[in-house]
Structure 1
Amino acid sequence: MSSFSPMPDQAPSRNVLGQPLEPCGYDPLTGFFRDGCCNTSPQDLGVHTVCAVVTEEFLTASARLGNDLSTPMPQYGFAGLKPGDRWCICAARWYQVQQAGAACPIVLEATHEATLEVVPFEVLLQYAVIPKTLH
């Protein structure tokens, strides 16, 4: 699957490393556009650009801070996340949980460069993991 390009004359999306954006995950199918990538656009008000590998600690802290990602919401086609799932998280929400001391690992290669407008690169680097096969 190729990187998302919102307009035919625009370059493919880039990650926080300045390279073409890699997919984040297909099971569950993630991304604002549900294309498996953490692409964004002006319509993505939440800036769903951080490719996170969620942990139980992250999910619990996120829910405590008002962003429940574990509870299924079938009306939105959302089955709920479980530890180990890769998901495009809102940059500000991931950063909020990180500041609360419960950040989860992230995949830099699949984290959109727009994240850098919200989260410092040095912070992202501390939580980087080597990508594993997509599921």
Structure 2
Amino acid sequence: MKLPSLNVLGQDLQPCSTAPVTGFFRDGCCNTGPMDRGLHTVCATMTDEFLALSKYLGNDLSTPRPEYGFQGLKAGDQWCLCAARFLQAHQEGAAPKVRLAATHQATLAVVPLDILREHATDGD
């Protein structure tokens, strides 16, 4: 069961990425629901700096894991990040850029809108 698909601007949630396919539901959108304990709701464009930080913090997103059908991410890929990890990256000065139109409104329970806007690639 998915929560209503609205973005942080209160509009219809836009797709994040289908190449690579992302999202908790692997539907290309940063949708969420009760089973998504990590709140994979921030549509972010990967950077080498963020990928290195994530790996250092224990979530290696850059190494391929074929057994899970995961090719590994590289700078420029868009991916649905956990809201708390995005906030942590912001606090560490390594936050990636985000697409507000593709970032689920549930993110606002963890990350204030002004912080998201600080890293936004799209306006409102």
Q: TM-score of the superposition, structure 2-length normalised? A: 0.94
Asked if 1:59 is matched to 2:56, the reply is no
- Counterpart amino acid of residue 72 in structure 1: P
Unaligned runs of 5+ in 2: none
Match of 2:10 in 1: 18
Name the CA distance, whole Å, in 2 between partners of 1:54 and 1:97. 12
Asked if 1:129 is matched to 2:111, the reply is no
Match of 2:92 in 1: 100
Asked if 1:48 is matched to 2:36, the reply is no
Unaligned runs of 5+ in 1: none
Asked if 1:27 is matched to 2:19, the reply is yes
| Counterpart pick for 1:80 among 69, 72, 82 | 72
Runs of 4+ in 1 over 3 A off after TM superposition: none
- Counterpart amino acid of residue 84 in structure 1: G
Name the CA distance, whole Å, in 2 between partners of 1:55 and 1:99. 16
Secondary structure of the equivalent of 1:88?
Answer: strand
> How far does the alpha carbon of each residue in 1:69-96 deviate from its partner, in whole angstroms, 9 at most, with x for none?
1011122211110000000011111111
Asked if 1:109 is matched to 2:95, the reply is no
Q: TM-score of the superposition, structure 1-length normalised? A: 0.86
Number of residues of Structure 1 aligned to a counterpart in Structure 2: 123
Instruction: Give me the identity figure in percent.
Output: 61
RMSD: 1.5
